[in-house]
Chains A and B, each alone.
Chain A
Amino acid sequence: MPEPGAVACVMPGTPGRWPFAGHVRGRWEAGPVQIAWAGRLAHSALPDEAWEAAQALRDVLATVTGDGRFDVIARAWAAVGTLPERWKTREDLCLLFAAADPAGILLSAAGVANVYVEATPGGWVAAALSGSPLYTEPGVPERAPVPQPSLRPGTRFIGLPRDVALPKPKDLALACGVRS
């Protein structure tokens, strides 16, 4: 069973002037159930608009709760489905969820081309095979994607949108905007 606060997701920024435009990262937990997320919305917009988009995504994700890993992921996607149309129609959402309860960890994503898990300290390996249902096109999915277990044990995950490469381990924290 993952320790409280152990499950975490990150998503690298896109190199450029505004690497983290539209990026969000967060988590919720209650008792043995926890969910973490990292994602981006409207990342190619100018910072003002991307910030609005990120705030909208934070608004809906702030409501997420659940009774187990399947339930909390289903509720998270339901919350994402309530995003204002303005943001849904952009079809550029990239979002990774990792949810845990005492029975294990599940992953679910939209707009993510690769997910890696930290299987050993600093050792990142693929959490899913290519062709996995985890990997979908960007955008708010019409139906909640089917959650997938990670191929390898671990509690920290990186979701890579199609236009972002896996950072080198020494650059990982800064590349993902993790500052503390």
Chain B
Amino acid sequence: MTLLSGDLTGVDLRAQTDVLIDAVRCAGDHPLGPLLDALAEADPLALAEVVCGTRSPGGAALVLAALTHAERIEGALSPRGAWPRLLELGGPEAALPVLTTAARRHPGASWLVALSRKVEGNKAGLAHLTACANHPAFAQACRNHAEAGHVEGLVLASGATGRSEPAAALLGVGKFDAMLRAAGAALDTAPESPLVAQLAAVWGPEPDDLFVRILPILRRKQAAEALRSHCRHLPKSARLLDLIIRGMV
């Protein structure tokens, strides 16, 4: 258990990778963190070989323990190569943490779209978008998922983050019904979400007819009032919103 406790004394890390891999393979329930910590400190290439190399034993325990050293692993392999490999080696149990960690580290990466589909199926995009909601690449990530047809993931991400970008991205690819659901989900979570500005920026210079179609989804008075403040030049929307607001408790 010396190696597993992180003592690398006497091990030639490049020449004796097999010894390290065997230690991991035989670890059973013993935590792998100390060994990976020591490898990350001593030789990130050896760490990458043990975790992601062709002879890596893989497994959820190894991959989950390796996520804290993602930066070192990416230093040895390219991110585009490392993350799909970690996903493959970690299996279903580690898939979501792998995806979430990748999304936090590379919020704007286009390869996350395919990775999301592999991990989340019909909810593809949810983990990625939730992880990068406060990153400048969020809008582009929404657009990438919309273009890949990840409708449910965008709707769910809209509700999880309260952001308007998923709805705008769905509008941009012509998914009108899904846009309505995403818009409703965003406003339920964050009534002050800048939905009007973002949808108008995708739709065109005369968004009145668009907003009239959105207003029936409103469920919260606070959201209706926030929208009303943007409608001074949108007469149809303003009239309908006044009616809606009067009818809301």
Question: Which A positions have Cβ atoms within 8 angstroms of B?
Answer: 11, 13, 17-25, 38, 47-48, 50-52, 54-55, 58-59, 62, 176-180
A45 to B62, CA, bound (A): 45
Q: Knowing A17-B139, A17-B140, A17-B143 touch, does A177 contact B203 (C-beta < 8 A)?
A: yes
Residues 147 to 171 of chain B near chain A (Cβ within 8 Å): 168-169
Given contacts A17-B172, A179-B209, contact A48 B197 (CB under 8 A): yes
Assembled-state Cα–Cα distance A38/B196 (Å): 19
B: which residues have CB within 8 A of A? 139-140, 143, 168-169, 172, 194, 196-198, 200-206, 209-210, 230, 232-233
User: What residues of chain A lie closer than 8 Å to B200, measured between beta carbons?
Assistant: 20, 23, 47, 51, 54
* Given A20-B203, A20-B205, A24-B205, 5 new contacts (CB under 8 A): A22-B201, A23-B204, A58-B233, A176-B204, A179-B204
**What are 9 A-B pairs at a CB distance below 8 A?**
A17-B140, A22-B201, A47-B197, A48-B198, A51-B201, A54-B205, A176-B204, A179-B206, A180-B209
CB distance from B20 to the nearest CB of A (A): 46
Question: Is B230 in contact with A51, judged by CB distance below 8 angstroms?
Answer: yes
A48 touches B194 (CB 8 A): yes
* Complex CA distance for A22 and B202, rounded to whole angstroms: 11
**Which chain A residues border B206 with CB–CB below 8 Å?**
25, 177-179
Q: Give A55 to B201 CA distance when docked, in angstroms.
A: 12
B203 adjacent to A179 (CB under 8 Å) = yes
Q: Nearest Cβ in chain B — how far from A128, in angstroms?
A: 22
Contacting pair A55 B202 (CB below 8 A): no
From the candidates A23, A47, A55, A62, name the one contacting B198 in the complex (CB within 8 A).
A47
Q: Are B209 and A21 in contact (CB under 8 A)?
A: no
Q: Are B197 and A50 in contact (CB under 8 A)?
A: yes
A17–B200 Cα gap in the complex (Å)? 12
Q: Evaluate contact between B198 and A13: CB separation under 8 angstroms.
A: no
**Do A13 and B204 have beta carbons less than 8 Å apart?**
yes
Chain A residues near B233 (CB, 8 Å)?
Answer: 55, 58-59, 62
Give the docked Cα–Cα distance between A62 and B234 (Å). 12
| CB-CB nearest in chain B for A180 | B209
Cα of A55 to Cα of B169 in the assembled complex, Å = 22
Interface centre among B139, B198, B232 (most CB of A within 10 A): B198
Q: How far is the CB of A160 from chain B (nearest CB, A)?
A: 15
